[in-house]
Amino acid sequence: MTVVTRASELTAALAEYGRPRLLVPTMGALHDGHVALIRHAKELAGAEGTVVVSIFVNPIQFDRPGDLAAYPRPMEADLAACRAAGVAVVFAPEATAMYATDRSVTVSESRLSRNLCGAARPGHFDGVCTVVLKLFLLCGCDMAVFGEKDFQQLAVIRRMVRDLNVPVTIVAHPTVRETDGLAMSSRNVRLDTAQRADAPRLRHALLAALAAYQTGTRTTAELLATARQVIEASALARIDYLSLVDAESLEAVERIERPALLATAVFYGEVRLIDHVRLAP
């Protein structure tokens, strides 16, 4: 496995490997969810292809300085996980290698990013789009694999690729969960014991709303109330948002007439967790 930290080194390293080239973009602190993405990329790459993993805690997508500072960075463990999963190249740059001090260009998406995490974290998706496009260009990848846990991120990146004619195929992988239902996230390790025990509540709340939907409830107000009741029963959880949106436009809906998405972001102390469930008529 080759590990590089600069764009020039990445270009030289990739010249030694074959196509197709699959990118798995990460911010490190790799867990079994990331490993599942890498394994899927390996399957798609085949015997002749190459899997590249980027490990970069992207500063321009963080809306809270404290969250950036606290984000876990276990680089040695991450490299060991990549090596064990059969990754060919790891690109692990510093911020100074990715952004000029006088940078003045940012990639923005203005429609799908208006609600949910986009409304709760101003500027977040500008940072995501900018870094992802840079990684696509630097890696020259044919495909890129993203997890469905970050559903809005996936939708925004697909829109960026479509609207800018980026020649990269976006591949989605289902959310990977712990045995208790909590969506795997690099932020989970920052939960204390009580918070970690309570965090599966997010999944329980969404499934309670799904069960209500499956037994005939269709209005947003009723479905949100069902999920909210489960989350607010905890003294540890603080809702950032709880929204029901159209699964394609990500615009709020009052009643489910088309495929929809029930999504939530919840704080446990300073740790922000997200999850969602699909609702389809």
| DSSP assignment of 110-170 | -STTSSTHHHHSTTHHHHHHHHHHHHHHHHT-SEEEEETTSHHHHHHHHHHHHHTT---EE
The Cα–Cα gap between 278 and 207 comes to: 10
Q: Which residues pair with 171 in a beta bridge?
A: 145
pLDDT at 161 over 90: yes
Q: What is the pLDDT of residue 233?
A: 98
CATH superfamily of 2-173: HUPs (3.40.50.620)
Please tell me which residue in 31, 34, 124, 173 is annotated as part of the active site. Answer: 34
pLDDT at 280 over 90: no
Q: What is the pLDDT of residues 36-60, one digit of tens each?
A: 999 999 999 999 999 999 999 999 9
Q: What is the pLDDT of residue 245?
A: 98
pLDDT at 281 over 80: no
Q: Which residue ranges make up each domain of the chain?
A: 2-173, 186-279
Q: What is the pLDDT of residues 109-130, one digit of tens each?
A: 999 999 999 999 999 999 999 9
The Cα–Cα gap between 78 and 119 comes to: 31
The correct answer on CATH 3.30.1300.10 for the domain covering 186-279 is yes
Q: What is the pLDDT of residue 164?
A: 98
The Cα–Cα gap between 34 and 25 comes to: 9
What is the pLDDT of the chain when averaged over all its residues?
Answer: 97
- 48: which 2 tokens? 């002749």
- When pLDDT is averaged across residues 28-43 and rounded to a whole number, the result is 98
Domains 2-173 and 186-279 share a fold: no
pLDDT at 146 over 90: yes
Name, in order, each residue with C-beta under 8 angstroms of 243's C-beta and a sequence gap of 6 or more: 115, 116, 224, 252, 262, 263, 264
Q: What is the pLDDT of residues 179-222, one digit of tens each?
A: 999 999 999 999 999 999 999 999 999 999 999 999 999 999 99
- Is there a catalytic annotation at residue 34? yes
